[in-house]
Amino acid sequence: MEKYDFDSLADRTIDNARKWDNKIVHSKFPKVRDDFIPLWIADMDFKAAPEIRNSLAKVANNGAYGYTYSTERWYQSVINWQLKKHNNHVEHDWISLGYGTVPNMHIIVQALLKPTDSILLNTPVYGPFAYAAEHNDRKVICVPLKNINNRYYLDWEKIEYEMKEKQPKLTFFCNPHNPSGRVWSKDEITHMAQLCQKYNVLLVSDEVHSEQIMKGPFTSSLQLDKQYLDNLVMFTSPNKAFNLGGLKLSYSIIPNPKIREQFRQQYVRNSVTSPNVPGQVAMITAYEKCDEWLKQCTAYIKENLKITQEAIASSFPGWKMMDMESSYLPWVDISASGIDMHTIAQVMAEKAGVVVGIGDDYVANADNFLRLNLGTSHAVIEEAMTRMADVWETMYQ
């Protein structure tokens, strides 16, 4: 079995990575150290699986990048992956190719919600969940997640209260949850589906973080009882797990034909039609050939997690990292340190040269949280932790 190399990173200047871009990082932290390590935007610095690189090289060398269509092989790769990885039985008709999960969120709002309708979010949550509402002039209703012993729980009483009183038409549900990595249980997902059905709220489940599970089991919303599938839209892609976000493809799975048709009508209005050539090839290859790469990548990130957990426990009194049950984005509660998150992020950028994510980017209820990104080499994580620990010791201990 091939042993993949995650220590040699890609040159992130060639893809003009936003995460590593000087100008973009300086716009956030004008006095950031020149040799900064970016642990913010959620993509990984690893080279994509060699199988994907080979498929893309073939396309690149062939020299034809003209118009294409969603091939039968692409549909089958999605159907097979969903079955093999998540035990989801997906019908061909249910699948629609899209240009990204965030664009899909915008499109579903346009397709199904009237201007006066609102969207319920359990916050904190990935920022674009709110942008999909705000960019389309729809209101957001935030229900704070309950933080009990450093683990998030859904606040059923408040969710039900808001559904009853404010009658949101849709909820974006992040499963697993970004920013905490929390993997919701089957009971929790079922409870959510029950409330959505009772109050006529469309359940839109974002499952883009479901492929890298550190502590399972992960339950997809497609595992819900049949009665709930009629009120469900599932968005996902291989973009997070296989680092293909820049190829701008994703897909939706919508069992209810009426909702699917309304959604697709909005595609027609925006001429969302065929995939891009490399995107489709990369997605098929990821799903057909890269399971082993993903397993090794997940194991590699677990090692980064260990390094980070140990560093936080030994060097940052007052920092508490949530148990990262999925993905590669640890969520750290720094409130007990008594120092505000903006100050810490700025100090880390300027003095340690480590760029971290700040709670502000997660809609609401994330004061005094930082988000890190472990999608890089052990050496980079070790260096980042050492630099941060040195600065913390000098300035705050």
Distance of CA 337 to the CA centre of its chain: 28
Whose structure tokens read 């905490």? Answer: 180
Q: By CB under 6 A, is residue 126 in contact with ligand PLP?
A: yes
Q: In the complex, what is the shortest distance from the CB of residue 206 to ligand PLP, in angstroms, rounded to a whole number?
A: 5
Task: Give the burial class of 364: count Cβ atoms within 10 A of its Cβ; 0-12 exposed, 13-18 middle, 19 or more buried.
Answer: middle
Stretch of residues binding ligand PLP (CB under 6 A), selected from 95-103, 217-225, 295-303, 347-355: 95-103
> In the set 118, 171, 205, 237, which binds ligand PLP (CB under 6 A)?
237
The correct pick among 171, 210, 221, 250 for binding ligand PLP (CB under 6 A) is: 250
Which segment (157-165, 237-245, 265-273, 364-372) binds ligand PLP by CB under 6 A?
A: 237-245
Residues numbered 19 to 48 that lie near ligand PLP (CB under 6 A) are: 42
Coil/strand/helix, residue 203: strand
Question: CB 42 → ligand PLP: shortest distance, Å?
Answer: 4
Candidate list 82, 101, 231, 285; residue touching ligand PLP; CB under 6 A: 101
Return phi, psi of residue 5, to 5°.
Answer: -100, 110
How far apart (Å, rounded) are the C-alpha atoms in residues 255 and 245? 25
Candidate segments 22-30, 97-105, 112-120, 275-283, binder of ligand PLP by CB under 6 A: 97-105
- Is 245 a binding residue for ligand PLP by CB under 6 A? The answer is yes
- State in angstroms the smallest separation of the CB of 102 from ligand PLP: 4
The rounded distance, in Å, linking the Cα atoms of 344 and 236 is 33
Binding mask 174-203 for ligand PLP (x = CB under 6 A): x---x-------------------------
Least distance CB 331 / ligand PLP (angstroms): 12
Check: CB of residue 225 under 8 Å from CB of residue 255.
Answer: no
Residue at shortest CB range from ligand PLP: 100
Element (H, E) at 55: helix 50-62
- 208 near ligand PLP, rule: CB under 6 A: yes
Closer CB to ligand PLP, 174 or 254, in the complex: 174
Separation of alpha carbons 68 and 273, rounded Å: 10
d(CA 16, CA 99): 20
CA–CA separation, 114 and 318 (whole Å): 45
Question: Are residues 265 and 109 in contact, defined by beta-carbon separation less than 8 angstroms?
Answer: no
Give the chain's radius of gyration (CA, Å). Answer: 21
- Confirm if 356 and 370 have CB atoms less than 8 A apart: yes
Q: Which is nearer to ligand PLP, 181 or 353 (CB)?
A: 181
Number of chain residues interacting with ligand PLP (CB under 6 A):
14
Residues that bind ligand PLP (CB under 6 A): 42, 100-102, 126, 174, 178, 206, 208-209, 237, 239, 245, 250
